[in-house]
């Protein structure tokens, strides 16, 4: 607890693959139809090339990005930013979206599972989380011209 007596905990935290996926997609989106490379995205954000390569492969496999091989190769969005829902990216990149694991994990199956309502409450909260994210697409993050221009400038490309 902090000095105010409030418990400091993160209720839901997305993994780094999800975070990096959003960054990669924002970068690709503000560059339109230009092919971008993993190396340039890694450099722009100061992220691991290795991690971004794995993320890029997953996004290609899922049809979010398309790749062109060869000397002048790279990747770009495989669809319009308006078609890329934020919740879909999370669902692709998060291996286990459950907030608690009542049936296994470190502590094994929880003893109170047959009488506990916590799992249902947390499932409802998870649905609400995705209901909000379902309202937004990649376009909502980058479509406003002033925001897109600022993003490009922040990525060191003005």
Q: Which domain holds residue 56?
A: 16-96+137-154
> What is residue 10's predicted lDDT score, i.e. its pLDDT?
46
The answer to the question of residue 21 being in a domain is: yes
pLDDT at 1: 44
Angle, helices 118-133/86-93, rounded to nearest 10 degrees: 130
Q: Which residues pair with 103 in a beta bridge?
A: 109
pLDDT confidence of residue 7: 44
Domain count, the chain: 1
CATH code at position 62: 1.10.10.10
- Successive 10-residue mean pLDDT values, the chain, 158 residues: 47 82 95 92 94 96 94 93 95 77 73 84 86 94 88 79
Q: Where are the beta strands (DSSP E) in 5-120?
A: 65-68, 74-77
Helix (H, G, I), strand (E, B) or coil at 142: helix
In a domain, 1, yes or no: no
pLDDT at position 141, please? 93
Rounded-to-integer distance, Cα 77 and Cα 66, Å: 6
What pLDDT is stored for residue 32 in this prediction? 85
Per-residue pLDDT, 51 = 95
The predicted model scores a pTM of: 0.82
Please indicate, yes or no, if residue 103 is contained in any of the structural domains. no
Whether 117 is in a domain gets the answer: no
């Amino acid at each position: 607890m902090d000095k105010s007596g409030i418990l400091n905990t993160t209720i839901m935290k997305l993994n780094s693959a999800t975070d990096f996926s959003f960054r990669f997609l924002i970068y690709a989106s503000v560059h339109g139809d230009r092919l971008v490379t993993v190396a340039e995205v890694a450099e722009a954000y100061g992220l691991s090339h290795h991690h971004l390569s794995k993320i890029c492969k997953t996004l290609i496999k899922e049809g979010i990005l398309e790749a062109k091989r060869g000397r002048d190769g790279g990747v770009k969005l495989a669809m319009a930013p308006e078609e890329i829902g934020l919740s879909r990216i999370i669902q692709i990149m998060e291996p286990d979206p459950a907030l608690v694991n009542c049936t296994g994990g470190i502590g094994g199956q929880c003893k109170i599972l047959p009488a506990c309502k916590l799992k249902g409450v947390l499932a409802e909260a998870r649905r609400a989380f995705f209901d909000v994210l379902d309202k937004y697409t990649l376009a909502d993050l980058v479509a406003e011209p002033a925001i897109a221009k600022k993003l490009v400038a922040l990525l060191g490309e003005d």
